[in-house]
Amino acid sequence: MHSIGHHQYHPTDDEPYMNPKQLAYFRQLLIRQRRELTAQARDSMHQMRAGTPKEADPIDQGVVAAERDFFCQARLRHDRLLARVEEALVRIEEGSYGYCEETGEAIGLKRLLAQPAATLSVEAQERIERLQRLARSQGLGPAH
């Protein structure tokens, strides 16, 4: 799947956490993700520009407006993910990658393999989501 050097390498729990091999593996994974996100952004921009009719009837204009709204929401999510990938690459350089920003504990290989830009352990993420749901249900926080 992913290679470093001439052989296949996959991080395991049998080796020291965030050893140089693991850091190199996640760095390559994040660089690949950044490259893919950048290409997707470029492709969707071209599609958006190509799909804008000059003269359209009101129904077509409504469809174009809805597509533009969808595109803008998708672009926001995309930009947030790209920023998180960039931040993860900085954390690798600084030596804090792989550790929860809330607790300082190891995030864990399983979670990082699924979400290489993760900044929180599963427990910390769940706690924050519970607090956000509670705040929303009491009308205290943002609805998104």
Domains along the chain with CATH numbers: 3-98 (1.20.120.910)
Q: CB of 129 within 8 A of CB of 110?
A: no
Instruction: Evaluate if residue 142 carries a pLDDT over 90.
Output: no
What was the pLDDT predicted at 102? 94
Question: pLDDT tens digits, residue range 65-118?
Answer: 777 777 788 888 999 999 999 999 999 999 999 999 999 999 999 999 999 999
Q: How far apart are the C-alpha atoms of 65 and 48, rounded to whole Å?
A: 11
Q: How far apart are the C-alpha atoms of 52 and 63, rounded to whole Å?
A: 10
4 by DSSP, 3-state: which? Answer: strand
pLDDT band per the 50, 70, 90 thresholds, residue 55: low
What was the pLDDT predicted at 1? 45
Q: Say which residue the tokens 């924050």 belong to.
A: 128
Residues in the chain: 144
Instruction: Evaluate if residue 46 carries a pLDDT over 70.
Output: no
- The span from the first CA to the last CA of the chain, in angstroms, equals 36
Q: Which residue has the higher pLDDT, 126 or 40?
A: 126
Q: How far apart are the C-alpha atoms of 109 and 103, rounded to whole Å?
A: 16
